[in-house]
């Protein structure tokens, strides 16, 4: 694990107001005592975020250098350019076969997806899942097989380099970083819908590596599902305890669980439909969690503030969960305005709609 990158992440989170000073001091002291960042410290940090109900704090380093500028000037598609269609078809197929089937199987141990039958008869849709690794987009690919699929990511996952161009060709959709970018972004989503494709969001907003509990959802993905008038298909990536060679190599063993599609309640006012969809999706993945692990979904006991502690040291859970001060995922978007979404590091991670730089990317635990 890259110690410098993680220390940078902790400082970034402190400066952004995402974590309190006492938590920053605690985790930095642990790193200094060990002389390096370790997996034990990492998972203890996630436990502390869980206790404090800071579910949308960044759990892994990322950077925004050389990111795509999705401020209205970014071109999402070239429908009249035959070369674009050829490149798109080729690279999307490569990612489905190589990424979804081969790497999804060998990297995560997903050889079969029994719940895929629940997708029968579903064409255009929004899919959602927990965000548990830099390359968990492989699981998303694996879940949908050879279906048309596009993955929404933060702009820094579509760099202005060869790798970023390949990801763009392979159906990655970066989120808008400014109000002027919302119209072309929405047009791209409508283009995908009209082609019968699936659009994947990570509504938890931030990446927590190999954290197996579903976290509270932001409403952004569900706003777009309602706007596009397509169903939402919630998914949950569940972890087995690795054995044998997988344990020796440090590889995860995952089962992909898929819930039944859910639809927007058109009897509700439009302003309420996205939050209703989000809550029902949360209930669906909680059911998947309890079915797989055979126990209720519970979180660690929250921090109880001592009399000597100030309110600034221990944020109220309700205040924390309702905060939208930093939006790094499409799923943090209440309205399609200036927000930026969490994506993946391979195509998933997070960024803010600002000029701030963030810590360097590093290997995940």
Residue for token pair 């972890």: 239
Q: Which of 10-24, 83-97, 210-224, 229-243 has the lowest mean pLDDT?
A: 83-97
pTM: 0.80
**What domain range is 204 assigned to?**
68-332
* pLDDT score of 321: 38
| Rounded-to-integer distance, Cα 147 and Cα 198, Å | 8
- As a whole-number percent, the residues of the chain with pLDDT over 70 amount to 83
User: Does residue 326 sit within a domain?
Assistant: yes
Indicate whether 350 pLDDT > 70.
no
* pLDDT score of 39: 94
Indicate whether 5 pLDDT > 60.
yes
* pLDDT score of 81: 81
| Rounded-to-integer distance, Cα 217 and Cα 276, Å | 11
User: Does residue 5 sit within a domain?
Assistant: no
Count of domains in the chain? 1
Provide DSSP, 338-351: S-B---BTTTB---
The pLDDT confidence band at residue 306, using thresholds 50, 70 and 90, is low
Reported as half-sphere exposure (CB side, CA atoms, 13 A), residue 316 has a value of 5
* pLDDT score of 304: 65
User: Does residue 292 sit within a domain?
Assistant: yes
User: Does residue 44 sit within a domain?
Assistant: no
* pLDDT score of 167: 76
Q: Which residue has the higher pLDDT, 28 or 145?
A: 28
User: Does residue 297 sit within a domain?
Assistant: yes
User: Does residue 357 sit within a domain?
Assistant: no
Highest mean pLDDT among 26-40, 80-94, 152-166, 301-315: 26-40
84 — phi, psi (to 5°)? -60, -45
DSSP code, position 344: B
Q: Which of 19-33, 244-258, 306-320 has the lowest mean pLDDT?
A: 306-320
Q: Which residue has the higher pLDDT, 218 or 92?
A: 218
User: Does residue 247 sit within a domain?
Assistant: yes
- Tens of pLDDT, residue by residue over 312-335, are 444 443 333 333 333 333 333 333
User: Does residue 253 sit within a domain?
Assistant: yes
CATH of residue 171: 3.40.1130
Indicate whether 358 pLDDT > 50.
no
Contact 136, 126 (CB under 8 A): no
End-to-end CA distance of the chain: 7
What is the chain's Cα-based Rg? 20
Q: Which of 76-80, 160-164, 201-205, 287-291 has the lowest mean pLDDT?
A: 160-164
Nearest to 173 by CA among 148, 147, 199, 195: 199
């Amino acid at each position: 694990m890259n110690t410098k990158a993680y220390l940078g992440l902790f400082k970034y989170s402190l400066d952004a107001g995402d974590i309190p000073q006492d938590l920053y001091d605690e985790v930095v002291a642990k790193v200094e005592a060990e002389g390096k960042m370790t997996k034990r410290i990492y998972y203890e940090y996630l436990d502390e975020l869980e206790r404090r109900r800071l579910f949308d704090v960044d759990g892994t380093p990322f950077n925004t250098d050389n990111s795509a500028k999705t401020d209205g000037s970014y071109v999402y598609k070239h429908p009249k350019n035959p070369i674009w269609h050829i490149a798109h078809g080729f690279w999307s197929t490569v990612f489905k076969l190589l990424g979804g089937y081969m790497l999804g199987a060998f990297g995560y141990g997903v050889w079969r997806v029994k719940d895929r039958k629940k997708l029968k008869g579903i064409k255009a849709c929004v899919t959602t899942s927990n965000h548990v690794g830099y390359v968990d987009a492989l699981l998303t690919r694996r879940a949908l097989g050879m279906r048309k699929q596009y993955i929404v990511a933060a702009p820094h996952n579509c760099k202005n380099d060869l790798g970023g161009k390949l990801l763009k060709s392979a159906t990655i959709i970066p989120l808008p970083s400014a109000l002027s970018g919302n119209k072309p972004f929405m047009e791209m989503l409508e283009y995908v819908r009209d082609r019968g494709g699936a659009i994947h969001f990570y509504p938890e907003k931030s990446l927590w590596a190999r954290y197996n509990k579903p976290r509270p959802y932001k409403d952004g993905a569900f706003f777009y599902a309602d706007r596009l008038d397509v169903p939402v298909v919630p998914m949950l990536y569940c972890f087995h305890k690795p054995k044998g060679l997988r344990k020796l190599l440090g590889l995860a063993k995952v089962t992909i669980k898929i819930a039944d599609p859910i639809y927007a309640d058109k009897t509700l006012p439009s302003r309420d439909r996205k939050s209703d969809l989000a809550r029902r999706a949360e209930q669906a993945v909680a059911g998947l969690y309890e079915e797989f692990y055979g126990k209720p979904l519970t979180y660690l006991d929250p921090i109880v503030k001592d009399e000597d502690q100030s309110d600034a040291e221990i944020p109220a859970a309700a205040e924390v969960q309702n905060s939208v001060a930093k939006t790094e995922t499409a799923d943090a978007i209440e309205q399609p305005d200036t927000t930026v979404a969490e994506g993946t590091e391979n195509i998933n991670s997070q960024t803010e709609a600002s000029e701030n730089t963030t810590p360097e990317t590093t290997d995940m635990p």
